Structure 1
């Protein structure tokens, strides 16, 4: 961790917005962190600041919980819960591989926990009221199932006893002993509100604490469970409460679903529960998970790892000073000055139950990461603080002194150190007046005022700096219109200052101008016309013409595009425009859930029934009716009737009407699916009947087969097939799935479509829907839709390698010879016929399975057959330019 840059008490280990992870776990060695979400699984190496590996996860369910195996024997194992399933993963050689899939719960899994002593035992609990115990040596079914009346929200193994575990059910706690059947051995009526977290004591098997929605943490002794030993009361519902690995400490976090702005963790001393000892301030959103990292040998600092909704991973350093606040005496540090300073500041504390002084407590709770502010020194003995504020070109060094009676009606003293500050006397007077007024208001109510005063000082300096810069640039960039008349081009349009655009997956992107340019433009009488006036030209002309006119503004001044070094220090709120991204899927008929649930594999009747059920789940009754009609039209019973049903008004014509209706309503998802279903229906008719009947253009003609160049997966023939006298007008050059490559022969209204134009539109629907599926990441569904396209795949134009059959010496493209039915290629390593990925030497012709050859040439250079050919060297030399 030598290369890590600590920001006072923490450093940012990872910040990755695209992870969207909601579960985090730290392994038993303290080296790796698992971050799990619906889209990705990620492994972060805390020893390497740059190394993070992401593994895509294709699932429609979020990860509920994640945990590493706590034992050294199976430290590479981790487990995550997804809906009703547990996935056990193995981290080995930079690969994260699923080794077990545990399924027994019938509803969502709420929590999981590894056994603290047996590395193969795992516990899980669910909304289905069951607690299952699993053994990875036989993962087919749970080794023990415990049943409760209410749903189980938490499950935790005892840290000292290998047989005890605790579960939380609403406001109650149940203690189970796996040796004594399926009934709980202890029952605790702990809270009147829901329990969110449980944590066993790390030192005693009889003590457990529970965190609840009633804003309390209660501590119970199993030998006397009727009432809590003591209660810790907070000001918000508690999501998790966990013991520290040192002293009498306890860490609490607020329920993240509330989103009340409580983004900090609190450190308590359970022996002094009146107020928290320390606050961990750094996250910009609610904390989702936190765990302790294993302490390295010789290190006196403990480390806490936290993961937040802002997708930021922070590692906090718990220094010996903070450890002493929890009644823990750390071993001697390598840097004894830290211990001496901490000891001097804690002389006022008692040994067993430390009593924190008000000023010392305020210093420990101070957020030292206020933007544009640096805390240079906090001296609780001398009772003063030195801070430095830097905003744009302003630098202010402030000293705050605290009287002994502070904060009981006596405000602190404020002094601006002028030797280290570069602000004018008028600004100093304004700052001191503001600080004294705010401090007096706070201490009149016996409240501390340090952090509010510092934040208000930064805000005031930002406002003063912004006003000064606005006045300066107003004077600098205003030029007379007559001067620049020859440089401006009246025919160049003004750049776009705002806009909005939809994409095909229901996302609306909007952008606008920055705030300050927008305010400035409201004062202008005219709009700048061109971009020809550069800042360099402005400065040159500024030296020539001294006269200025407020009636003209250049484009450069309009956008405040100042090519200056100070632009790096300008606050993002004042210089950057904001791009808004909205989820507008509710405005469109495209539905991702339907796209995930729809199928195209199987007979038409099965497909229509399944898709109708999927539409009913999302509340689309119109689609349920449409799929029911499609089943009646294109079902197997109708395909048996052949020509009569195809010409019936409720046959092909009804299907065409359904497709046209949904296309006219801009529901291309349903239109494309119906086009694919109609293709399967026409193929079924072609197989059943030998008489030519009316078909949609582009469908199979009865009695004809696909051309040899066509794909065996296509249910629609190539473009040169003639159906009922019409040549299909699909262009042969349309090979890509991009909508730009699909052009219609003629723009025809949907209500007056002729057959050739209709066929082109049907192809357009399928391509448009396939592109939407691709953007959603539903690659398999996209491939299923593209199987129903009319056009042929591109013919192979590169080098082609063929095998000669050993029996009949004929060149063969497939895995078996069509003449003698013998395997074409046998692996030179394992002597088994090759039916999958294969490689062969271009010199000696010997080859086999790709995996077998990779294994052989990992430690050999000569061909396995003994022919003496150096296959790798020879093949590489042939392809060199």
Structure 2
């Protein structure tokens, strides 16, 4: 261990090879640094140059994922580390590090944690299990609030200015949450196309946040306008972390540790000039695992950056004034001397017996906003230094009296009392007073007034407590008949028929509905258990037939006050629509980027690149393997991929694997690309020879001779060799139930032909593309279906070939083999979409005609026909 190595820019604070620590944290005072790994926890005092490190062995088979000290002065001795699915809260006191709390609620590994910036007892954690838990260490048995994000959460960060906002990262997206507004995010930001590795809130603006990503960029967003990026900076490698400097407009970035490209440096940027970094910190011999800013000591002009590397060295970097100036910061002795980014105001310590001349209470009363919702000010007396208010939320009423000591607000908080006339329980009273006292103590510790903040917090807390009381009343255990105790207990919490449910609709959309929370049963005397069906209410209706009992009257209770006030308050159920696309393997972006035209090698290479963009590395590997299989075909066109030593069986295994995993997208793409040889033979022999009429169920002809390759819905099932292949429903369904491939693969016996299965994969994927509105991509997939075209049975329009004047059905004349139609606008041969006038017969490209008839209503050829008017008149007649 070495402590003496120094240079002009940094010095080595610690070098200890046996620590093997991968997480680092600096405490709120800038004195201690915590290094955490699987074998040891270590504490180093940065103020003592020659102090030895304190090492504490860990008895755990799991490594430490993240570590952080409590940022508040009240619990500066607390730190927390994450180990697999558990959080361990540790206390550093008297040179001893002891565990005081163990927080367990996550079911998968914890990816990040973050202390609240203002509340010393509040902690947030996120995990691969898609949940973000908010913990209060005073009640460590369970989280105080759990947020479900559906997708894996990789980062969680509390806002540095607003105490209620926090941000989480989910792959390439950012979600903003407000702990006061339930469990749904208040803002959603589609930030990157690759994974986000780091988040950091601005220390100067509560609405600005930056994200560092695998796509080599750092992007800055204003959460009040999340649809666009404020600005971004681009690096040469994926960015692991990007954090604001405590001075000026600086930002420090570091590359992803797993890359190991020899990039062991940190970059310092000026966010107002993002073309190139202004400084590079060079010193580590291996990748940087973490870095933090040290709290600036009083009187210091240099800021310090603490970095921990995989080379097991801890470096302390001095940020001298010239670097601060490059970030737009001018050092000022009277400002920001503590490194917190806030101005320091000189305060005067008052004697015990002195009047409040620094911040008169009368001035605070005069500036108070008395129009706070649900709050009524009863009395404000600056002479007796007493204030009385009344808060009324739903059915709760609180009369509060605040008494202000003479030394208020210089370190002395007011005294709060719940007076007579309040109708709250002792539990609510205790919670309310604890909240007010805590907030007041926080404010006055900084010599700030707290009256209006406490009053607003009282209303907010009372609102939340009233909601909790209502929920407890709604879900209170119902009366259970002792005669039928077991049945009543089992049926007590069964949802009422047809009043709640959930269903996957379209592609990746989950729709949930339920009864409103504030509704309740009319009377427990009518029915002690929830009826299992609507018909079960017949007995109840029979008993109360004189009262015109209905289902609505049974289930909802109308308040008498509605009739009294002559208005009706309708109970409305809320339908929640969730984006569940992250739960499935099908990907819209891949569907847009995938190609099917060209040689097999080019197709596989292009599709592998598309899969890499969305981070599907398993698909990249599969497409690369498919490209290798297709190699002989590139060398010799006569040699099919199926002749390859591993080609046929390997591709069948890949298709079966992805179908079993419900990745219908990949299974269908492989079927289209590598099923050409089999499809050609099937097209020659037709499916009539493959599935004889005797093998098809009566009235169930799906791949019948003459079926249209562009038909979107199969009319029936396939029955072959004694097994039934369930196809898509005869009417278009928006349910994702059709994507359950695993059961389908297990049903098919080994002796059966795989061709029908491959056709099903293509058709199911085509249906998915249709729901996404990707009609062109769907048409490409449909072209690879094996069923022959269905004969036309309706009205048919033919064109006379312009050369041989013979009737032609297609764009090529069957007689002279030339293009049969020229566009009357551009005079070029028509090969694609075309339209013709049913009166004069002239026509051409659809887009050409659309442009012409948007300006004119007569035929361009000069035949005198008013095509639009005359055609409409013909059909009207």
Q: What TM-score do you get using the length of structure 1 for normalisation?
A: 0.44
Q: What TM-score do you get using the length of structure 2 for normalisation?
A: 0.44
